[in-house]
Chains A and B, each alone.
Chain A
Amino acid sequence: MLDLRRFLAGLVMLGASASAAIAQPQSVRIGVIEPQTGPVAFDGTSVLRGARLAAEEINRAGGVLGRPLELVIADGACRPADSVAAAERLITSEKVAALMGAFCSGATQAVMPIAERNRIPLVTGVSSLPTLTEAGNRWFFRNAETDAVLAAAFARGLVEQTKAKTVAFLAVNDDWGRGTVGAFRGVFERLGVTISMAEFFDHSASDFYTPLTRIRSARPDLVVVVAETQAAATLVKQARELRLSSRIFGVGAWSTPTFLNLVGSAANGLLAGVAYTATAPGDLNAAFVQAYRAANNEDPGKYSASGYTTMHLIAQAIARAGSTDAVAIQTALEATDYTGPTGNLRFDGKHQVYGLQLYVVEIENGRPEVRGTARIERAD
């Protein structure tokens, strides 16, 4: 019966750790579910850096409701099961007032019903699958551009600017890559642009010579690449090695310092559509970049900015709600009107953010220069 005893002892310990967490009433706790391990660990960590900076700023200014803001961070690993476990723990044993996360759309989708069932506001700063905000979940908010919105904002301008007649797609084989290609393809086809090919690669892929060789032969005017830092960096270097003559337009974290460091001079001449760039104009952004640099010794990227603004708008909503009551926070979130480094953010009736600034940047001498802007308008 030794094993039974061990089992019960474990359960008791679990209960003890849960009650220890509750005995800390003074701070306002926000649960943050981001991938710290797994395929997007790097981007998830960037979100966390942004969120931590925001929390420090808020606490230096006196916290929320006169109490310090405390981030309770959990690793969701981009997997639905891990993210759900994290959400259950944060809500019931860590007693968080609101949730932020869970990065990958699949993981976020799995967490959404839990937020709804427990009546806890959930704000994502990343998940871009358009249908998330179509589900009618009133506890869910999205502070990010969707695949469709991004395509609508950039596709036409891109065709006009580059005068492209033929386009090829090269994208990561997941919901985000597939979704973005689908959205861009729709707009391009309506504009009469020929799609010469759409190729997808695995998350862990490192050799892109094969699809790039195909693209080189097809000679499209424009190549739209949907990829995160790791794949994007290798892909661009290889495109340059292969002397690909087509213009490259990147979607993803393409103006981050890690990307630019890895790619080096090969990045020059790239176009990228990003929801944030450290070189964006405005005093609010300049202040954010300065603070972020001081804390992390590098420029912020798309994900750091999303972590930063998402945390700020959650904290503001709690402040406006006047309490940590979930319904009050949910109502306050609906009335969000936050101006930060990414624009003046508000939520529409489906809880999709609008007012977010989008940028087309061109990399020049290793620096992303803003070539055009678009603003996400209210959609509903």
Chain B
Amino acid sequence: MTENRTVVLLLLLAAILPAFAGGQYVMHLLIMTFFYAMLSTSLNLIVGYVGELSLGHAAFFGLGAYASAVLSLEAGLPFFACLPVAGVVAGLAALLIGSITLRLEGHFFVLISLAFAEVLRYVVINSIDLLRGPLGYPNVPAPRLSLGGTVLADFSSKIHFYYLGLALLALTLLAAWRFARSSYGLGAIAVRENRRLARAVGIDPFRHALVAFVVGGALAGLAGSFYAHYLTFVGPEVLGFGFTLSALMMVVIGGRGTLLGPLLGAAVVGITLELLRSVNEARLSIFGILLVLAVIFLPDGLVSLAARWRRPTLEADQATAALDSPLRP
């Protein structure tokens, strides 16, 4: 169970990090890393555990962001009330979309998931009266944590968002871990590995995929709510393909179907993009090349590197990865 321990250790390290590393910008990068780690962990439930390529994940993230922005600005609800609602809204959307699309064969699922997200984006862009269309929602208020009459944290400082993000990330990872260990998670993995065999032992692939889809969608909604209140602006771009692509990148670079993978992916992609700022215009070109190389040489992600390190041969490598996995039945 080294992977779980590594994850816990990383979270603990992150919790004491502000004592050593300061700087608003580093804080901001870390907060965004937490956010992306949440988003990619939620996507990982679908692409990693169920093994379906979902290109519409931004729909759930975006719905969460919009739900939170609208509730706090129009209804005046506090962040800690908006957050769960955002998760529920996104989860319900995932239930609706998933129950329609997950019955379709893989190729078709890839594209129809994207179609749903894009339709949603166009609906938002064109709903001027209801959702302010392309104008979006500026000035989404910061959270406020109070007990009785005393304000514990007013989130005027980055450190508050840092710990909020870390807490939500821990919650997301816990949910993902619980899911992966549950009968649904194990069933989903069985379906991913061998669909026919799984059916033969009585696992309903659709139901297992749907549960993963709903949990993943709800977690993306929570990430959306956090994003809305941290960045203070929500517009139709939150429903755009870009967020799905970023999350997908992180899942694959880190290692799909693992708990640690999306976490590593978010950190590594974020840091790489930051370090590449020194090359100015060539930044994204070089990033594209790095992405291609990373995937070609490490198709199973950074997580597989650790296994390779310990055992020299490829076969032993895979065996170790399988044994290390906390997801083994």
Contacts and interface: CB of A to CB of B under 8 A. Distances in A.
Interface of A: 1-4, 6-7, 10-11, 13-15, 17-18, 36-37, 73-75, 79-81, 84-85, 88-89, 91-93, 106, 109-110, 112-113, 117-118, 129, 131, 135, 173-175, 177-179, 200
Interface in B1-50: 6, 9-10, 13, 21, 23-26, 28-29, 32
Given A110-B232, A177-B134, 8 more contacts: A4-B6, A4-B9, A18-B25, A79-B237, A88-B25, A93-B26, A109-B233, A173-B133
A177 B25 CA distance: 34
A92 B139 contact: no
A179 B232 contact: no
B23 A93 contact: yes
B245 interface: no
Interface string B107-150: 00000000000000000011010000111101100000000000
B32 A85 contact: yes
A88 B24 contact: yes
Nearest to B261: A3
21 contacts: A2-B305, A2-B306, A3-B305, A4-B6, A14-B26, A79-B237, A80-B235, A80-B237, A81-B231, A88-B24, A88-B28, A89-B25, A106-B134, A106-B138, A109-B136, A109-B232, A110-B233, A117-B156, A118-B24, A175-B134, A175-B136
Interface of B: 6, 9-10, 13, 21, 23-26, 28-29, 32, 125-126, 128, 133-136, 138-139, 156, 227, 231-233, 235, 237, 242, 260, 264, 267-268, 271, 274-275, 277-278, 280-281, 283-284, 302-303, 305-306, 309
Contacts, number: 118
A299 to B, nearest CB: 23
A36 B156 CA distance: 31
A13 B128 CA distance: 45
Given A80-B235, A85-B28, A7 B264 contact: yes
Nearest to A200: B126
Contacts of B13: 4
Interface of A is mostly: helix
B271 A2 contact: no
Contacts of A88: 24-25, 28
B58 to A, nearest CB: 12
Contact of B21 (A3, A11, A131): A11
Contact of A17 (B6, B136, B278, B284): B278
A203 B51 CA distance: 34
A91 B24 contact: yes
